[in-house]
Amino acid sequence: MNYFVIVDVTLRRGISDPEGSTIERALPALGFTGVSNVHAGKSFRFDVEADSEGAALEKATALAERLLSNPVIEDASARIGER
Amino acid sequence: MTKRRIGVVVFPGSNCEYDAAAAVTRLGDEAEFVWHTRTDLKGIDGVILPGGFAHGDYLRPGALARFSPVMGAVERFAADGGPVLGICNGFQVLVEAGMLPGALQKNRGLTFLCQPTTIVVTSTSSVLTRGAKVGQELVVPINHFSGSYTCDDETHDELVRNKQIVLRYKDNPNGSRDDIAGVANEAGNVVGLMPHPERAMSTLTGSADGWVLFESFLGVRVVPFVRAS
């Protein structure tokens, strides 16, 4: 069956995140205070045909590590999502 | 003397292939465009991955280009010791393909940079810098959004130890770790750099400092550096 999978790709800890810090610096100007540790990333969503949730996640994780993320600077995590 | 034949790989979205080819022919060698679906590099003496936006830079610069059919041939060519040069987007392709260490991130400040920069030769242990001198300063333009070189501490230690950091920015424009502008693999036959030496081939257009790098890469004549007065 088809499983709806969401993959989040974020920069690894310690890797500078100019997008995240720029967003963070812009927030107070808009009146949003008390927001910190902003990180920018990417989100992918797709259907995976598999026999089980576990198998779907395994496949999604493999393709996320191979293509969707660059393991040198990014972490990828896959989860089953709700439509 | 037989002319060397340099393969200039063309991905959909490459846009510096003509400049790269012109730099090669200017020095008396031949350039051949190699479309990215080709799987052999017969008769090729050196490979250049030019700048541009291979596969639209979708996902990440170089992320899709590394899966182009030609890259298998480029990897085999490099493994056999063949000289491979990645310029700008070509450098991004080489790190994504794992042929060079590290990664290239968006510039510090999130601005697209297009300007002349001064780079310093910091190692001559590579096909790109073997004819230059350590400490030699070159004015070469940069033209990129994702040129901030990054790697972990362990990789950085290794790069320093093996003299793989071949070029550094004199005045770091993009936030690159340790001012790194170009790196080589351990053997020195695969090199990538963000600046565009193919656009620094004539004083008419601002600088001819790319000559020494192309002469090194082509193995033309390894001349002693004469400092301009």
CA angle B100, B140, B26 (to 5 degrees): 90
Return the SS3 of B64. Answer: coil
Return averaged pLDDT per consecutive 10 residues of chain B, 229 residues in all.
90 97 95 97 96 95 95 96 97 97 94 97 96 97 97 96 98 97 97 98 93 91 42
A-chain residue closest to B101, CA distance: A72
B198 catalytic residue (yes or no): yes
B52/B48 Cα distance (integer angstroms): 13
Which residue stretches of chain A have pLDDT < 50?
A: none
A-chain residue closest to B148, CA distance: A16
Active-site choice (B36, B88, B151, B156): B88
**Per-residue pLDDT, B62:** 95
**Per-residue pLDDT, B220:** 64
Dump pLDDT digits (tens) for B135-149: 999 999 999 999 999
> Minimal Cα–Cα distance from B62 to chain A, Å?
10
Query: By the CB < 8 Å criterion, does A22 face chain B?
Result: yes
**Residue type present at position B56:** G
Q: Per the domain annotation, does B108 fall within a domain?
A: yes
Mutate to test the interface with B, among A70, A74, A75 (most CBs of B within 10 A): A70
B182/B196 Cα distance (integer angstroms): 11
Q: In whole angstroms, what separates CA B133 from the centre of its chain?
A: 18
B-chain residue closest to A23, CA distance: B110
B88 catalytic residue (yes or no): yes
B27/B220 Cα distance (integer angstroms): 8
Strand locations in B21-136 (E): 30-35, 46-49, 84-87, 103-105, 113-121
Distances (CA, A) of B125 to A36, A62, B128, B227: 44, 37, 8, 21
**Per-residue pLDDT, B182:** 98
CATH among 3.30.1280.10, 3.30.930.10, 3.10.180.10, 2.60.40.1730 for A2-80: 3.30.1280.10
Closest by Cβ to A19, choosing from B106, B152, B175: B106
Side-chain half-sphere CA neighbours of B214 within 13 A: 30
Q: How many domains does chain B have?
A: 1
Q: Which domain holds residue B88?
A: 5-218
Cβ <8 Å between B63 and A22: no
For residue B220, which of B228, B207, B211 has the smallest C-alpha distance?
B211
Dump pLDDT digits (tens) for A1-14: 999 999 999 999 88
> Minimal Cα–Cα distance from B225 to chain A, Å?
37
**Per-residue pLDDT, B1:** 63
Cβ under 8 Å to A: B residues 38-97: 59-60, 63, 67, 95-96
Closest by Cβ to B102, choosing from A18, A19, A72: A72
Strand locations in chain B (E): 5-10, 30-35, 46-49, 84-87, 103-105, 113-121, 137-144, 148-150, 165-169, 180-184, 190-193
CA angle B152, B155, B158 (to 5 degrees): 150
**Residue type present at position B64:** L
Tokens standing for residue B144: 């990129």
Mutate to test the interface with A, among B150, B153, B172, B180 (most CBs of A within 10 A): B150
CATH number for position B67: 3.40.50.880
| pTM for this entry | 0.91
